[in-house]
Structure 1
Amino acid sequence: MIDKEKLEIWAGFLLDHSIGGVTSDDRVMIKGEAVCWPLMAVLEQKVIEAGGVPDLHVVAPNNERGRVWSAGMARYASEEQLGRIPGWHRDRYDSMTKYVEVLGAEDPKQFMGLTADQSQSLAAADRPFADIRLSRPWVITLYPTEASA
Structure 2
Amino acid sequence: MDDRVRRHAGILTDYCTDVSADDDVLIRAPTPAADLVEALYERIGDRGARPTTEWRHPRATRAYGRAIDPDDVRTADHRLAAMAETDVVILIKGAENDAAGSDVDPETRAALRRAKRPVLDERLETRWVITQYPTAADAQRADLPTRAWEEFVYDAVDRDWDAQRAFQERLVDVLEPAETVRIVSGDDTDLRLSVDGMGAFNDAGEDNMPGGEVATVPVVDSADGTITFDLPVVRGGREIRGARLTFEDGEVVDHAAERNEAALTALLDTDDGARRLGELGIGMNRDIDRFTNNLLFDEKMGDTVHVALGDAMAECVPDDRELNESAVHADLLVDTSEDSRIEVDGEVVQENGTFAFE
Question: Is TM-score (shorter-chain normalized) higher than 0.5?
Answer: yes
2:72 counterpart (81, 92, 99): 81
> Which residue of the partner structure matches residue 71 of structure 1?
62
The secondary structure found in structure 2 opposite 1:29 is strand
Cross-structure match for 1:4: 2
Q: Which has the higher contact order (CA 8 A, sep 6+)?
A: 1
Structure 1's 94 and 32: CA in aligned 2 closer, same or farther, altered over 3 A?
A: same
The equivalent residue for 1:67 is none
Q: 1:53 aligns with which of 20, 32, 50?
A: 50
Can you list the C-alpha shifts for 1:20-45, whole angstroms capped at 9, x where unaligned? x1111101101111111111111111
- Greater per-residue helix proportion: 1
8 A contact 1:74–1:121 mirrored in 2: no
Q: Which amino acid aligns with 1:98?
A: V
Q: Helix, strand or coil for the counterpart of 2:59? A: coil
Other-structure match for 1:31:
28
- Provide the residue aligned with 1:148 in structure 2: 138
Alignment check: 8 A CA contact 2:80 2:122 kept: no
Matches within 5 A, 1:103-142: 103-142=93-132
TM-score of the two chains, using structure 2 as the length reference: 0.37
Structure 1 vs Structure 2: percent identity of aligned residues?
A: 24
1:71–1:122 Cα change, 3 Å = farther
Q: Does structure 2 conserve the Cα–Cα contact (< 8 Å) formed by 1:30 and 1:44?
A: no
**Would the aligned equivalents of 1:44 and 1:56 in 2 still touch at CA under 8 Å?**
no
Distance 1:144 1:52 in 2: 26
C-alpha separation in 1, matches of 2:120 and 2:78 = 16
| Native 8 Å contact 2:75 2:118 kept in 1 | no
Deviation at 1:132, TM superposition (A): 0.9
The higher radius of gyration belongs to 2
Secondary structure of 2:110's aligned partner: helix
Q: CA deviation at 1:82?
A: 1.8
Displacement of 1:71 after TM fit? 2.7
2:99 counterpart SS class: helix
Query: Which segments of structure 1 move beyond 4 Å, counting only runs of 4 or more?
Result: none
Which amino acid in structure 1 is aligned with residue 40 of structure 2?
Answer: L
- TM-score norm. by structure 1 comes to 0.84
Q: Which residue of structure 2 lines up, in the alignment, with residue 93 of structure 1?
A: 83
Within 2, Cα distance between the matches of 1:44 and 1:80?
39
Aligned residues: 139
Separation (CA, whole Å) in 2 of partners of 1:73 and 1:83: 13
| Matches of 1:90 and 1:105, distance apart in 2 | 25
String of CA shifts for 1:65-107, please: whole Å, max 9, x gaps.
Answer: xxxxx2322222113432262x322222111101001111222
Contact 2:9–2:36 (8 Å) recurs in 1: yes
SS of aligned partner of 1:109: coil
More strand by share: 2
CA–CA distance in structure 1, aligned partners of residues 112 and 14 of structure 2:
32
